Amino acid sequence: MMRAEVIGPARDELTDGAGPRDLRPSSRATRARRLGSVTAQQLSHTQPFTGAPPLTATLTRALTAVSVPIFAGAVRWWVAGTKGGIELRAALSGTVPASVQRPTRVAAGSGLLAARLAVAVAGYRPFTTVLPDHRRPGLLAVLRLGALGEPTPTERALFGALVRPAAAPARMAAAAAVPLLRRAVDTEGAWLRSSLDPADRARMEAMLAEVGGDASPDAQLLVVGSHHDLPAADLRAGLAVRRLLLCAAAFGLVGDVLAGPRELARRRRELPGAGPGLIPQVLLQVGPAG
């Protein structure tokens, strides 16, 4: 029997702790009404802190920012407000092949981080229960509002990078950022392998060539992977990918997903970092703007 994982707020440092359509609401108004069902219950008391934005507004901005697909192969996922919190759901069932379920969970995990940041910026400590199992494959996670509290500087910075993606001045070279990006990925319970080693870069470029991808010579290639192949690990990989992209943006770098779980599936064990219990999930590049 699979046990749920409860994830509390990340530590306060910058590097701590979606399918053909990642988020496919019928309209922005529909999404706002859906999110309103949770805020009507949760926000019936005093504003969390002076100047805190409404939770509905922060959720709408965050989920709009992640509505553009970052890789192919996933089906629709969405959030819905309930009495128990904010549920992350996907159009998955036992009849959906594993080759679709994994990309969907990774894509939804990326959106889960956006929702978690929105809750924090609205003045609540976010707590996430990661749920996916074979009995209820469509319910991926529940995000709950904890105690009142101002967001940390990290949460503010990441939320700003999410909803205001204009390029920031470059603060460091891509190679220098790799240790910090690794810490960001570690925070979400995933792992990262970079192309600092020329042999590793050659293996990553060979994989990209097979799937029709291409990398900038000035960018660092990065593999984000999970520590096992259970459904919860797919969500954690998605959380890590989104945190990495936001951290890169905060450092003045540009991150791009080059291949997702579907593209890597056939030869994932040939990528750097792969091994027993270590599952490559997404291949990215991070480099200077332009």
Residues 157 and 182 in one domain: no
Model confidence pLDDT, tens digit, residues 88-117: 999 999 899 999 999 999 999 999 999 999
Neighbour order of strands in the sheet with 279-288 = 191-194, 220-226, 279-288, 253-259
Write the pLDDT tens digit of every residue in 16-70.
Answer: 433 323 333 334 444 433 443 343 344 333 456 666 788 889 999 999 999 988 9
109 and 197 co-located in one domain: no
Give the confidence band of 5 by pLDDT, cuts at 50, 70, 90.
Answer: low
* Claim to verify: residue 68 and residue 151 sit in the same structural domain: yes
Q: Give yes or no: residues 124 and 201 share one domain.
A: no
- Do 115 and 233 lie in one domain? The reply is no
Rounded to two decimals, the pTM is 0.84
Both 92 and 28 in a single domain? Answer: yes
Do the beta carbons of residue 141 and residue 87 sit within 8 Å?
yes
**How many domains does the chain divide into?**
2
Mean pLDDT of the chain: 84
Residue 169 included in any domain: no
